[in-house]
Amino acid sequence: MSETRTTTLLVIGGGPGGYVAAIRAGQLGVPTIVVEGRQPGGTCLNIGCIPSKALIHAAQEYERAREYAGASPLGISVQAPVIDIARTVAWKDGIVSRLTGGVEALLKKNGVQLVRGWARVLDGKTVEVDTGQGAQRIQCEHLLLAAGSEPMPLPSMPFGGKVISSTEALSPTAIPGRLVVVGGGYIGLELGTVYRKLGAEVTVVEAQDRILPTYDAELTKPVAAALARMGVQLCLGRKVLGMNAAGDAVRVQDASGAETALPADQVLLAIGRRPRTQGWGLEALQLDRAGNALRIDDQCRTSMRNVWAIGDIAGEPMLAHRAMAQGEMVAELVAGQRRRFAPAAIPAVCFTDPEIVTAGLAPSQAQAAGLDCLAAAFPFAANGRAMTLDATDGFVRVVARRDNHLIVGWQAVGRGVSELAAAFSQSLEMGARLEDVAGTIHAHPTLGEAVQEAALRALGHALHI
């Protein structure tokens, strides 16, 4: 074994939370080492957020080209397009490579040492890293756990063979004729939509009685309607029993106990993700848990002094931008600053077609919290920019307190609404009231005008509906 290295901050995991924590610590002059077994960027940059959005874009362009091969209302006509999926995947991989290379460069620029290898926790101050060329021991003053999450398997349907996770789905070598997606959450629907647009017959199986069960039902209706138009089959309220004996169909059971077999050339298992807490010695620390996740306080401290946890390993919401914000805060705390993690809201985006974005409280959540709120929605059918994009499905909705008009939540569904997330979050963080948004001049023609109109409607004087 080589000589033991020492550092002030040791980060396990180079994903969005880990690398941001390391960069910020480096900026503040804190000696920092990051241990990462794969490429920097974690799940998000390598096998999650970024590659999935690249494939979503490619699938959308391919679908649009196929529409132009028919009778396009825009007056555009082309010959029937074809897609070279190998080139598409290579283009996606190029984006990933540029981003992960950029992260590595930023770490180096800020004096952070990157150790490539797999960490095993020995105690709260010591980690052993398998670098593939021997073991290396690192001792630290502060240990930051940012190991992320992993796809959840089904006991009746383990990964392997025809059953793939989102990781394999993001690097297809061919498009299956028939794809069964197990799980009607955002991962399953995003990737199911991609494969449908690329030509696969897609069936989505969901145990609940509607898709995207964690989202407000009103927001999911336009998504369900779009899936139906695309030809995606939905099997709701169904339990998955596993593959059939021949291995060419998925056995599902409805509430009455009746069993059906869904033919499948490939199965995408997307029932969720779980904190990556197994297989790297974490149990040696005996940290307090919150279910499968590590329990943390509002400074991301665990139950052991100077051991911190951020991102997916610390539970829901499992969002890259939450991990980034937590990582930045922990770095500043280690550097001696005073911080705590208390955001007014953390936005969430579902990149289906149409997209969904939420921030803060939905009407039902506000009611459950004992707040007397009013809610108002403005439809994109009345928005000029949405018409020019041929994307009038959906709406923007605001939720505000009735007594003082303080905005407590925003929701939207529609094409391109993910870009409204910044405006939603900023208004909540700044404590905006309906009058603040309604009185702000919004550029015309933009989808953002629907934000202003929703606030105006809540005040009783929307202008364009």
| 84, 90, 92, 95 alpha-carbon torsion, rounded to 10° | -150
- For residues 128 and 145, what is the distance between their CA atoms, to the nearest angstrom? 14
**Burial zone of 57 (CB within 10 Å; 0-12 exposed, 13-18 middle, 19+ buried):** middle
Provide the CB-side half-sphere exposure for 136 (13 A, CA): 16
Residue type (1 letter), 322: R
Catalytic status, residue 444: yes
Q: Are 239 and 252 contacting, i.e. CB atoms less than 8 angstroms apart?
A: yes
* Helices 49-68, 85-109: inter-axial angle, 10-degree rounding: 150
Catalytic residue among 442, 444, 461, 464: 444
CB neighbour list of residue 412: distance below 8 Å, 6 or more residues apart: 356, 357, 358, 394, 395, 396, 397, 420, 424, 450
Phi, psi of 179 (to 5 degrees): -115, 125
Distance from CA of residue 398 to its chain's centroid? 22
Q: Are 322 and 329 contacting, i.e. CB atoms less than 8 angstroms apart?
A: no
The beta strand positions in 25-89, using DSSP E, are: 32-36
| Tokens encoding 185 | 């959450």
CB neighbour list of residue 258: distance below 8 Å, 6 or more residues apart: none
314-353 core/surface letters (b: 16 or more CB in 10 A; e: else):
bbeebbbbbbbbbbbbbbbbbbeeeeebeeebebbbbbbb
- For residues 372 and 374, what is the distance between their CA atoms, to the nearest angstrom? 7
- For residues 373 and 23, what is the distance between their CA atoms, to the nearest angstrom? 41
Q: Are 344 and 358 contacting, i.e. CB atoms less than 8 angstroms apart?
A: no
The beta strand positions in 270-394, using DSSP E, are: 273-275, 289-290, 293-294, 307-309, 348-350, 355-360, 373-379
- For residues 122 and 283, what is the distance between their CA atoms, to the nearest angstrom? 10
Catalytically active residues, by annotation = 444
